[in-house]
Amino acid sequence: KDWLKLLFSKNLTRWFSDREIKILDPDSSKKIGVLKEAFTFISERAVPPDISRLRKIDNITSIDEDGKPERVFKYKKEITLYPEKILGAHERRKGLNDIMRFNIMDFITQADDSRVNYPYADPATGRIRTVACSRVYHMNMVMKYSYAGAHGQKKVHYDRIRIVLNKEGLVRLEEVKLI
C-alpha cells in the first residue's frame, strides 16, 4: 500500500485510508457512522492554497518563507455520521467531541541537542563570547473542518496551532490567531 500512497498521494485519501473505524451506538451497538484516517507526506507545491495561506499568515520576513524546506504531511480524518439513526435513538444531540492524539516521538528522535552554544561579539569588550541558546523546532498544524450546516450548505472552519518541540519533547503550544 505504501508505494501506492507515494504514487497517488495527491488524491490518496479519496480511495485509501490507513484506518477505518465503525462508530457504534453504545446502547444498541448499531452502526451510526464511520471514521476514516489517512496519513501521507506531500510536496509543498501540493499544499492547497487555503492551507498554505494560513500556514504563512504570521511570517514576518521573507526569511521565514525562504528558509529551510519544510516537510509537509497531510493527515485526513473523515467522520461520516448517519443523523437519522442518531436522532431516532437519542434526545441528547447537542454536540460532538473528537480527541486527536498526535505522537511526536518520531519527530524528536531526529532532533539535535536542546541547547547549543552560539558565539557573539560582546559590545562592551569587543571579545568573542558564547552564549547557550535553546534549540527548538516549530511544527505548524493547520486544521480544516468541513461540514454540512443545518440546511445542508457546506461550511468550513480553520484552526492553526504551532507546536514547539525540542529533543526532550513538547515545549509549548501556541494558538495562532487567523485574521
pLDDT on residue 44: 85
More reliable by pLDDT, 71 or 116 = 116
State yes or no: pLDDT of 62 exceeds 60.
Answer: no
Cell of residue 126, nine digits: 569587543
Contacts for 24 with CB less than 8 Å, ≥ 6 apart: 30, 31, 32
**pLDDT confidence tier of residue 85, bands split at 50, 70 and 90:** confident
Between β-strands 169-175 and 154-166, what pairing exists: parallel, antiparallel or unpaired? antiparallel
pLDDT on residue 14: 55
| Interval 161-173: pLDDT, tens | 999 999 999 999 9
| Interval 51-61: pLDDT, tens | 988 888 887 65
How much is the mean pLDDT over the chain? 83
State yes or no: pLDDT of 135 exceeds 60.
Answer: yes
d(CA 151, CA 95): 17
State yes or no: pLDDT of 156 exceeds 60.
Answer: yes
In three-state secondary structure terms, 177 is coil
pLDDT on residue 150: 76
